[in-house]
A and B are shown apart, each in its own frame.
Chain A
Amino acid sequence: MRFTIAALLDRLRAERLVTRADADAVRAALAAQSADEMPVYLRIVVGIGAWLATGFLLGFFFGLDLLTSALARIVFGVVLVALAVWRRRRARNDFSRHAAVAASFAGQGLIVFGLGEATTDVSVPAMVAVLLSVVLIRLVPDRLHRFISAVVAAHAATIALTTLHLPLAHDIAALLVVCAGAWIWRVRLPDRSDDVDEMLLPVGYGLVVALFGILVQSTFASAVLGGLDRSHRHELPFVGAPSTIAIALVLALLAYAIVREHGTARRHAVVGTIVVAIALFAAATLRSPGIIAGVAILVLGFDRRNPLLIELAVAHLFVFGAMYYYSLDLTLLEKSGILVGSGALCLGARALLRAPRAAPPEGIA
């Protein structure tokens, strides 16, 4: 599944587009570039450190006597964010870069908390947080900052929609995140410039993590508060059938795009079969969107040859599979029927697929 530079060079060599000498030049270029690259585990460690630093900074600012009023916090927060953006765009060393990131989030925290104190309407700070995050994704050239901003924007949008008392607020938020994520990961990829690609990659991961958060929150609420009076349910972070249908539609579109890219003969028949299978699976797991979301991320991860997305999808499926057991929306007997039915559907689809025994085409390892 993993597609390496070496495999790519093999393909290009088979097409007589590069020579062995080119491979050495590519190796030298990569060696020079990889000195600045950070693996995922290091990004996680740095991210935890940046959050800690932000927490300490916020503790410091909230403790200052000068910043006790809401207005002072908002004004200081705006100044801090502006300085942080300016600093991050010019910083060359690691200390300045991460100090700017921590200061930016501390400033955003001051603005949002300040607005929360100044108004009684929670939707105002939530919408400001969305706006700030979107603007800063564009302005701050930092992967960690963009990733966290995407997560913050998605969750703040969910809070804003809920406080506006919109029906199906959490489903709408989940739908927005799914659509934005699908666009980032799959639409018009070759047309993107380096800068746009660099900007959207961390946002794509952020949206996958944010969707996970929204669905976990919903499943947890369903397990703990599922027995509540239905008239109060719109106030709780439930997502259900609308999200499942939306994710199933996006999954069907992804499947269509993949089949079209392959130029498969009998395309309509193949797409029709896939759509029916997705519709049946969605119908079986209608009240648990986490499961079909996990499947969609898994398919997307393989399509993009992205091991990290696949790992996130597997975690997704494990968590939602386990949490489904505790959902109070269904009895154990109903759950049993749904799970066995969905499992039988998967096994039936596998039988239909009839995996080929033939070796891969020559030149493609």
Chain B
Amino acid sequence: MPIDPLELPATPSRIRAIARDAPLSPHVAGRALAITLATPADYEWRQFLSRVLALLGAGLVLAGTVCLVAYNWARVGRFAKFGLIELAVVVAAAIAWRTLPRLSGQIALAAAAVLVGPLLALYGQTYQTGADPYGLFLAWLTLILPWVIAARFSPLWLFALGLLDLSVTLYWTRVMEPRGAEDAVFLVLFGIHALALLAWERQRRLTDRRAPHLIAVVGFGVLLAPASILVIDTHRSAFDVLGLVALASAIAAVMHCYRRQRPDRFMVTIAVATGLAWVAIGIGRIVFRDLDLHVGGFFIMSLVVLGEIALGLRWYRGSSTLMREA
């Protein structure tokens, strides 16, 4: 949510409220409402439709081509298969070369980067390399990294981060299989996301907030796992204790950075929500396991969750006032 109230979207309910509180004359309020409810101008529609039709058209033609290839896949020889995918990669990269840094170029380079994966999978399938699955994703990431840097496109960076997450998880669980340190993978994934977030925030010119939000949501999600295992599982390890410490530290760090230094209510909300979720899991363990309350436990848990919602909202409103004043 923007900090300057004037940057809020104009909605009918907001206009009516402004007309009451500001106050505006009925004529001005009526005109404001009419402007707000009017459909966008002709030139805006043309721009929008032009973009939507281009994206939808290209997407549908591409999807149709994929279906055609899938229909004939069994009849196509191995060289033709390689040729088809390589041709698609080259065409997408060539379009990107001509059109970067425009959005069309970024999308084309992202398509080329995504197509590298099927090419590697086809290679593994054709020559039966026997490589571990993590190798496919790591090789994919390594090969596309220069394109990721060149594209300067948030979705492609997120895709690369997803590939890294997948590689690490597969390596940890299928290759390393460390006895007693299975839960450490959550800490490693959290570390990756913390570094990614730090790298993002260091570049002050980046204005897109969705990418850091998504990175933070996944980061908190993977930390909640070991912290919850510590509470509910009897087979806990030292890494779960570390997970809880990391979760507490991450919440404290987010509260410190995003309340005043770089106000971002989403980050603060997600940190608080993760903390409240952990508290609810802890109380659930006490209620259902330690106190062994069955039916009554459900009632207590409903009160706990409702209490947390109320506390969280109360805190949010107070915090919003503070952040507006910052």
Total interface residues in chain A, CB < 8 Å: 98
* Given A41-B266, A98-B306, A194-B13: A350 touches B35 (CB 8 Å cut-off): no
What are the residues of chain B within 8 A of A25 when measuring CB–CB? 22-23
Interface of B is mostly: helix
User: Are B321's CB and A355's CB within 8 A?
Assistant: no
Bound CA–CA A345/B57 (angstroms): 7
Find B50's partner among A56, A338, A355, A358 (CB 8 Å cutoff): A355
Least Cβ–Cβ distance between B236 and chain A, in angstroms: 24
**B266-306: which have CB < 8 Å to A?**
266, 269-270, 273, 294-296, 298-299, 301-302, 305-306
A127 within 8 A of B: no
Bound CA span A194–B19, Å: 12
In the complex, the chain A residue whose C-beta lies closest to that of B67 is: A336
The yes or no answer to B24 lying at the interface (CB within 8 A) is: yes
Q: Is the CB of A53 within 8 A of B305?
A: yes
B36 touches A57 (CB 8 A): no
The interface stretch among B58-66, B98-106, B145-153, B162-170 is B58-66
In the complex the two chains form, is A8's CB within 8 Å of B37's CB?
no
- Chain B 1-34 interface 0/1 with A at a Cβ cutoff of 8 Å (1 = within): 1001111111011111110011110011001111
B305 with A52: CB separation less than 8 A: yes
- Expressed in whole angstroms, the Cα–Cα distance for A349 and B43 within the complex equals 16
A54 contact set on B, CB distance < 8 A: 302
Partner of A46, one of B35, B61, B65, B309: B309
Asked if B131 CB lies within 8 Å of chain A CBs, one says: no
Q: Let me know if A250 is at the binding interface, CB within 8 A.
A: no
Cα(A303)–Cα(B68), bound, Å: 35
Chain B residues whose CB sits within 8 angstroms of the CB of A356 once the complex forms: 43, 46
Q: Is the CB of A33 within 8 A of B33?
A: no
One of A22, A335, A342 near B22 (C-beta < 8 A): A22
A residues within 8 A CB of B265? 39
The 8 lowest CB-CB distance pairs between A and B, nearest first, are: A343-B60, A339-B64, A346-B57, A30-B5, A343-B61, A340-B64, A63-B295, A95-B310
Q: Interface residues, chain A, CB within 8 Å of chain B? A: 1-9, 11-12, 15, 17-18, 22-23, 25-39, 41-42, 45-46, 49-50, 52-54, 56-57, 59-60, 63-64, 93-95, 98-99, 102, 189-190, 192, 194, 197-198, 201, 258, 261-262, 264, 295, 298, 302-303, 305, 307, 317, 321, 324-325, 331-333, 335-347, 349-350, 353, 355-356, 358, 360-361, 364
19 contacts between A and B (CB under 8 A): A1-B48, A5-B9, A8-B15, A12-B32, A15-B31, A18-B24, A31-B5, A39-B1, A42-B269, A46-B309, A54-B302, A57-B302, A94-B309, A261-B39, A262-B39, A305-B40, A325-B63, A340-B60, A364-B41
Supplied contacts A46-B312, A60-B296, A95-B306, 5 more A-B pairs, CB within 8 Å: A1-B48, A2-B9, A8-B15, A15-B31, A39-B266
